[in-house]
Amino acid sequence: MNKELTQNPLAKGLIFDIDGTICDTMPVHFIAWRQTAAEHGIDFTPELFVEVTGVPAYQTSQYLKNKFNADFDELEFTLRKEERYEQNMSQAKPIEPVVKIIRENKGKLPMACGTGGSQYLAWKTLEIAGVKDCFEHVVAAEDVVNHKPFPDTFLKAAELIGVQPSDCEVFEDGQLGLDAAARAGMMFVDVTQYYEVTIGKEINNE
């Protein structure tokens, strides 16, 4: 990775996804989903994970139940997965190119986070990444009705930091999030070009 992540000089506000953008939690999420799905005979593949990246946990559970015609309670399935994730989330590492942007702009530009995760896990992840002190606002799954790829999460984040959507830049790792940023009329960057994505390499190491 020789490219350096930089922000758009036209941006007056910065909005960050969290999982896979600020903190490399995606391998931990993947294993939690894979193990929970396996209990119900579902092969949760890296390709399937990419498909649901950015989708809130409960909606992902509903999707899996319908897709595989499985017999489980969606809420119990979701709680089991989130419990597994929380037990191992401390293993996640900060994504340094993004953390560098955040730290450089602390106190200079308004910043917020927009995630498909819960408020509780979002703030805990920011703490693990060492940037909790850089943010006042997080828009999480429980804060909007329409999640990514709808623009609502990022539009609400822009409103909270008092910056027009067209003046905001979104940092994302998932296609649904990138689509949401585009639909919100914001500048955006795919941060996966700036660090090594390791989803799927954990299958043999579970």
pLDDT digits (tens, 9 = 90+) for 97-134: 999 999 999 999 999 999 999 999 999 999 999 999 99
Last residue of a domain, one of 63, 90, 117: 90
Q: Are residues 83 and 123 in the same domain?
A: no
Number of compact structural domains in the chain: 2
Instruction: Cite the active site residues.
Output: 17
Task: Decide if 5 is inside a domain.
Answer: no
Specify the pLDDT at position 180.
98
Asked whether the beta carbons of 85 and 28 are under 8 A apart, the reply is: yes
Last residue of a domain, one of 65, 90, 115: 90
Asked whether the beta carbons of 5 and 191 are under 8 A apart, the reply is: yes
Q: Which domain holds residue 159?
A: 13-24+94-194
Q: Are residues 69 and 160 in the same domain?
A: no
Task: Indicate if the pLDDT at residue 202 is higher than 70.
Answer: no
